[in-house]
Amino acid sequence: MQFTAKQISEIVNGSIEGNENVVVSRVEKIEEAGNEGLTFLANPKYESYLYTTGAAIVIINNDQVVETPINPTLIRVKNAYTAITLLLDQYNKFRFHKTGIEEPSFIHPSVVLGKDVYVGAFTYIGEGVKIGDNVRVYPQVYIGDQVTIGSGTILFPGVKVYHDCLLGKNVVIHSGAVIGSDGFGFAPQEDGTYRKISQIGNVLIEDDVEIGANTTIDRATMGHTIIRKGVKLDNLIQLAHNVEVGEHSVIAAQTGISGSTKIGKHVILGGQVGVVGHITIADGSQIQAQSGINRSIEDPGLKWAGTPASQFQNQMRTQVVLQRLPDLERRLDQLEKLIAQLKEEKGSY
Amino acid sequence: MQFTAKQISEIVNGSIEGNENVVVSRVEKIEEAGNEGLTFLANPKYESYLYTTGAAIVIINNDQVVETPINPTLIRVKNAYTAITLLLDQYNKFRFHKTGIEEPSFIHPSVVLGKDVYVGAFTYIGEGVKIGDNVRVYPQVYIGDQVTIGSGTILFPGVKVYHDCLLGKNVVIHSGAVIGSDGFGFAPQEDGTYRKISQIGNVLIEDDVEIGANTTIDRATMGHTIIRKGVKLDNLIQLAHNVEVGEHSVIAAQTGISGSTKIGKHVILGGQVGVVGHITIADGSQIQAQSGINRSIEDPGLKWAGTPASQFQNQMRTQVVLQRLPDLERRLDQLEKLIAQLKEEKGSY
Amino acid sequence: MQFTAKQISEIVNGSIEGNENVVVSRVEKIEEAGNEGLTFLANPKYESYLYTTGAAIVIINNDQVVETPINPTLIRVKNAYTAITLLLDQYNKFRFHKTGIEEPSFIHPSVVLGKDVYVGAFTYIGEGVKIGDNVRVYPQVYIGDQVTIGSGTILFPGVKVYHDCLLGKNVVIHSGAVIGSDGFGFAPQEDGTYRKISQIGNVLIEDDVEIGANTTIDRATMGHTIIRKGVKLDNLIQLAHNVEVGEHSVIAAQTGISGSTKIGKHVILGGQVGVVGHITIADGSQIQAQSGINRSIEDPGLKWAGTPASQFQNQMRTQVVLQRLPDLERRLDQLEKLIAQLKEEKGSY
């Protein structure tokens, strides 16, 4: 698709300096842009590229000073970063707004589909499923019996949603994510074997949640595993049975939360964090990457780090001293020798 | 589906107190149950909910004292927890016992299918595959050439089993798990590149194994990667080529085992543990979450923690002192000053 | 398939000792081989098995001394390990060289397919996709719009490649890997919610790259996430948006690299390593498993370990002393008592 400077300027409500008929076909970084490229300058660090970029159009802030004549057409806006974000959203909406049912797909006769839905080929939709308006289900998705999916939700190729799970509106789930697999529940038997505990709960995902590729969220043993409104989950995360993640919390890749733990609102968990089961993490907590959380965090809004985690400042101090640990031991050795010497000398008075 | 108190009581061999015709349609937690809910009371911690629950039916122990009149119908049994587990198993068996071949599916003409098998739509079954009785293969599963699958095994949607792998009876594999992908074997070349080593072994999974969502088990370079009878694997686990996991061992989510390592029987590995290659872990070892195991564990039945792991008690002691490390350094500083002072004073006698 | 000693000897350019008509049907380890087994002896550690193996044929080095008469037919070659590798490659090529289009599959009319391509059933190939010669796309793969795939590349069952990604020649991607999912980019808003930043870049994978099962590589926000020539990635790895991995680098399982980080050439990352965003790792760096890298590594060719990582030798020293930490504290306690005593005694002069 091609757009003129004039068309773009109208979308972002900007003013043009230069040729309004110049054409762009893609959005690129200012330092890499070629002659059909649209780019933007928002961060002063990149200002020098304004004079060297190969882009056809650059969106800049109204107050950006341009010191020498340059080749690209400029579009001036109040906030260049906001403008480009808006443009990208429009572009993605336009490009990916598929509708219709591709064949072959498997849709149980009892399924209720909303308006303007897209169902990709090789997707399977089970008995009693309800799908809202404008939902896009890409190819090779599995939706188990009795699942409900709110309007505007997107399931990328290969997502698996087990039976009975409930997904809200405008949820986005990336390829390979598994929603509603059995929780890891096995009762140890006297003979050393394990007996599976049937997992009959579900997963409840509220509105505006985004879930990354190959992330796994187990169904509850009973009741719900719950992902509250606005939560953002990165790739390869593990959420165990009966976990609850509070509103607008963010979890980075490869982090794992054990069973029945409750994460508060507006919590930020770094990547590769591990959290034990049956604890609570207070609202607004921030946990550094690779930390291990082994007990509840009760005071809200604090930063934590390390395994087992302690408050961030303490952890940083400990880590600094840790680098000197072999040195501390040498100093201790020396002190012991000195004191032995002092005692001996004293004995000789 | 709906059940009366009378029907449920017959399944669990219980005695009814109250209306035997009351109807339930789902199993819920005692604190959350609604008016078509069946629940149970096994843990005394939850006893107060017996008087407030909205459930229609509560299963309780024979010796449970009920102090005031309550609304729900009661079903008394010897062990309420065992009874509910039995009920859930029956319910799941009933609900998910699909059979038949859904279309479109791809089944090579040479495939041998047992009795009462379910094959979901978009599933692919390659040449020479043998599938036992009562096997359920959900939609979008891939089963490579020459794979054998024992009776009663369940492959959830999207499971991928590469060629030549052998699965036992009553194995359960959750969505997105990959069985038999190539081991990570590359021979470094003189020019700094790597040459792939063909991986021609397979994965051998014995009876009663359960494997979690998006877990990956690589095929052996030669011979077998082996998962012994009764092993339970959580989600997102990595088992490398030629690993062997002993009978009835349990591994929590996101743990990784490197190539050719042998895990003993009845071992428990916590989440996010890493184990290096070519070592052995003794029977009955218990490894705390996030530990790093870098050498063989020879004595059976011990607990380990930390990176590199040491025995649990030692590790706990070290971690406690670690919190005081900046303090230790300050004390050392002070001692050095004191001793310097003592020496100086001594010099002035 | 069966082969005689004579046929095998011709492939590996060896000389036969024993019956040239003996037949083998599989390759096995020397200690496990049965009477239709082909095996090899390259590592002197396994020499004793030469006299006990049940194999029908053993490939050995020209200079291998055989001290007593043995049962198997021997094939002598310059380098037994190289010979067996060659054989396995030939075998795999022969066994897995499928071609043709299986039905049902979904191939957009605009797709350009090269010669001798294999497309498995239930695979989806979107608009404008270009696929080179000899590419093998197994069943249940998703290839989004405008993707380009170079000749000789193999996509195993269930691989997902989002729109616009570019794959080179002779790339191998294992089941469940996701290429080009959205980067984890969300702008925090004043009301505590997050706003998605559209991710419009792609993933660029150069020639000879291998990617493990269930690994996820996010598309760039803008521009490219880049995997350079010859890189080998194990299973369950996370590469975030705009990451670049340099030529012939190797990354072990479950490692995660945060956004915009650049890994140099010939780097080796162990398993479960975490690397923060926006840093660079120098060429030839070697990072031990489970390390956490929180700042750039500028000097090439060094070894690193720990969280936060320090140079390997320092880290090893620290870890050794760490085991003695409770002991250090006791020694410090004792010194303090001794000094207090010395001071007191001095006061009494």
Q: Report pLDDT digits (tens) over B35-59.
A: 899 999 998 899 999 999 999 999 9
Give the closest residue to B39 by CA, choosing from A147, A201, A244. Answer: A201
Torsion angles phi and psi, residue B158, rounded to 5:
85, 5
Tokens representing residue A49 in the block: 């590229």
pLDDT at A132: 98
ipTM attached to this prediction: 0.92
pLDDT at B2: 86
Inform me whether the C-beta atom of residue C193 falls under 8 Å from chain A C-beta atoms. Answer: yes
Q: What residues of B are in contact with residue C140 (Cβ under 8 Å)?
A: 122, 124, 140, 142, 158, 160
Inform me whether the C-beta atom of residue A347 falls under 8 Å from chain B C-beta atoms. Answer: no
Confidence of residue C264 (pLDDT cuts 50, 70, 90): very high
Q: What residues of C are in contact with residue A232 (Cβ under 8 Å)?
A: 184, 186, 194
Which three-class secondary structure state does DSSP give residue B5?
helix
Inform me whether the C-beta atom of residue A327 falls under 8 Å from chain C C-beta atoms. Answer: no
Cβ within 8 Å, pair B140-C140: yes
In the predicted model, is pLDDT for residue B141 greater than 80? yes
List CB contacts of B15: < 8 A, sequence separation 6 or more. B9, B75, B76
Q: What residues of C are in contact with residue A284 (Cβ under 8 Å)?
A: none
The listed range with the strongest mean pLDDT (A197-201, B27-31, B94-98, C224-228) is C224-228
Residue in A closest to B251 by C-alpha: A184
List CB contacts of B16: < 8 A, sequence separation 6 or more. B5, B6, B9, B73, B74, B75, B76
pLDDT at B16: 97
pLDDT at B240: 98
The strand ranges marked E within A175-325 are 178-181, 186-188, 194-196, 202-205, 210-211, 216-218, 224-227, 232-233, 238-239, 244-245, 250-251, 256-257, 262-263, 268-269, 274-275, 280-281, 286-287, 292-293, 303-305, 310-311
Which three-class secondary structure state does DSSP give residue A343?
helix
pLDDT at A85: 87
- Contact between C119 and C125 under an 8 Å Cβ cutoff? The reply is yes
CATH of domain C159-308: 2.160.10.10
- Contact between C269 and C287 under an 8 Å Cβ cutoff? The reply is yes
Average pLDDT over residues A27-34: 90
Rounded to a whole number of angstroms, the distance from the CA of C159 to the nearest CA of chain B is 10
B260-318: pLDDT as tens digits: 999 999 999 999 999 999 999 999 999 999 999 999 999 999 999 999 999 999 999 99
**How far apart, in whole angstroms, are the C-alpha atoms of residue A302 and residue C112?**
55
Residue in A closest to B318 by C-alpha: A308
Q: Classify burial at A15, counting beta carbons within 10 Å of its beta carbon; exposed 0-12, middle 13-18, buried 19 or more.
A: exposed
**Taking the CB of residue C349, how many other CB atoms lie within 10 A of it?**
6
User: Is the bond preceding B308 in cis, omega lying within 30 degrees of 0?
Assistant: yes
Average pLDDT over residues A201-217: 98
Question: What 8-state DSSP symbol labels residue A81?
Answer: H
Rounded to a whole number of angstroms, the distance from the CA of B190 to the nearest CA of chain A is 35
Cβ within 8 Å, pair C216-A230: no
Inform me whether the C-beta atom of residue C123 falls under 8 Å from chain B C-beta atoms. Answer: no
pLDDT at A347: 65
- Contact between C338 and A343 under an 8 Å Cβ cutoff? The reply is yes
Residue in C closest to B330 by C-alpha: C332
CA B205 from centre of chain: 15
C39-90: pLDDT as tens digits: 999 988 899 999 999 999 999 999 999 999 999 999 999 999 989 988 888 8
User: Is the bond preceding A104 in cis, omega lying within 30 degrees of 0?
Assistant: yes
Average pLDDT over residues C15-41: 92
Least confident of A81-95, B234-248, C310-324: A81-95
Cβ within 8 Å, pair C252-B184: yes
| Residue carrying the six token digits 């009835």 | B248
**How far apart, in whole angstroms, are the C-alpha atoms of residue B187 and residue A55?**
44
Inform me whether the C-beta atom of residue A324 falls under 8 Å from chain B C-beta atoms. Answer: yes
pLDDT at C345: 77
Torsion angles phi and psi, residue B151, rounded to 5:
-65, 150
Confidence of residue B348 (pLDDT cuts 50, 70, 90): low
Inform me whether the C-beta atom of residue A3 falls under 8 Å from chain C C-beta atoms. Answer: no
- Contact between C131 and C117 under an 8 Å Cβ cutoff? The reply is yes
In the predicted model, is pLDDT for residue C184 greater than 80? yes
* CATH 3.40.1390.10-classified regions of chain A: 3-96
Q: What residues of C are in contact with residue B244 (Cβ under 8 Å)?
A: none
DSSP sequence for C192-232: S-EEEPP---EEEE-TT-EE-TT-EEEPPSSSEEEE-TT-E
Nearest-by-Cβ selection for B342 from A236, A325, A342: A342
The catalytic position among C163, C224, C241, C266 is C241
Interface size A-C, in CB pairs within 8 Å, comes to: 167
Nearest-by-Cβ selection for B322 from A144, A182, A318: A318
Cβ within 8 Å, pair C325-A325: yes
Helix segments in chain B, DSSP class H: 5-12, 80-96, 312-323, 325-347
Nearest-by-Cβ selection for A192 from B121, B248, B252: B248
Give the closest residue to C89 by CA, choosing from B218, B196, B182. Answer: B196
Which three-class secondary structure state does DSSP give residue B82?
helix
Catalytic status, residue B108: no
In the predicted model, is pLDDT for residue C120 greater than 90? yes
| Plot region of B135 (φ>0 → left; ψ -120 to 50 → alpha; else → beta) | beta
Confidence of residue A142 (pLDDT cuts 50, 70, 90): very high
- Contact between B188 and C284 under an 8 Å Cβ cutoff? The reply is no
Q: What residues of A are in contact with residue C124 (Cβ under 8 Å)?
A: 120-122, 139-140, 157
- The DSSP H or E segment spanning B186 is strand B186-188
Q: What residues of A are in contact with residue B271 (Cβ under 8 Å)?
A: 238, 256, 258, 274
Cβ within 8 Å, pair C120-B124: yes
Cβ within 8 Å, pair A274-B252: no
Higher pLDDT, A264 or C342: A264
pLDDT at C348: 56
Length of chain C: 349
pLDDT at B90: 84
In the predicted model, is pLDDT for residue B145 greater than 90? yes
Interface size B-C, in CB pairs within 8 Å, comes to: 170
Q: What share of chain B in percent tops pLDDT 70?
A: 99
Interface of A with B in 245-304 (CB under 8 A): 254, 256, 258, 272, 274, 276, 292
C partners (3+ CB pairs within 8 A) are A, B
Amino acid of residue B319: Q
Inform me whether the C-beta atom of residue B121 falls under 8 Å from chain A C-beta atoms. Answer: yes
A partners (3+ CB pairs within 8 A) are B, C
pLDDT at C118: 98
Amino acid of residue B341: Q
Tokens representing residue B48 in the block: 């107060």
Which class would CATH give B3-96? alpha beta
pLDDT at A272: 98
Q: What residues of C are in contact with residue A104 (Cβ under 8 Å)?
A: 104
Confidence of residue B96 (pLDDT cuts 50, 70, 90): confident
Q: Classify burial at B293, counting beta carbons within 10 Å of its beta carbon; exposed 0-12, middle 13-18, buried 19 or more.
A: buried
| Pairing of β A3-4 and β A23-24 | antiparallel
Tokens representing residue A168 in the block: 């809200």
Q: What residues of A are in contact with residue B252 (Cβ under 8 Å)?
A: 184, 258
Amino acid of residue A127: E
Confidence of residue A340 (pLDDT cuts 50, 70, 90): confident
Confidence of residue B225 (pLDDT cuts 50, 70, 90): very high
In the predicted model, is pLDDT for residue C30 greater than 80? yes
- Contact between A173 and A152 under an 8 Å Cβ cutoff? The reply is no
Rounded to a whole number of angstroms, the distance from the CA of B210 to the nearest CA of chain A is 9
What totals of helices (H) and strands (E) does chain C contain, helices first? 4, 40
Q: What is the largest CA-CA distance in chain C?
A: 103
* CATH 2.160.10.10-classified regions of chain C: 159-308
Rounded to a whole number of angstroms, the distance from the CA of A122 to the nearest CA of chain B is 6
In the predicted model, is pLDDT for residue B349 greater than 90? no
**How far apart, in whole angstroms, are the C-alpha atoms of residue C266 and residue B321?**
39
The catalytic position among B97, B163, B241, B266 is B241
User: Is the bond preceding C104 in cis, omega lying within 30 degrees of 0?
Assistant: yes
pLDDT at C344: 80
Rounded to a whole number of angstroms, the distance from the CA of B94 to the nearest CA of chain C is 30
A82-121: pLDDT as tens digits: 899 888 888 888 777 889 999 999 999 999 999 999 999 9
**How far apart, in whole angstroms, are the C-alpha atoms of residue C218 and residue A117?**
26
Q: What residues of A are in contact with residue B346 (Cβ under 8 Å)?
A: 342, 345
**How far apart, in whole angstroms, are the C-alpha atoms of residue B279 and residue B272?**
18
Residue in C closest to B309 by C-alpha: C323
Cβ within 8 Å, pair C335-B335: yes
pLDDT at B347: 65
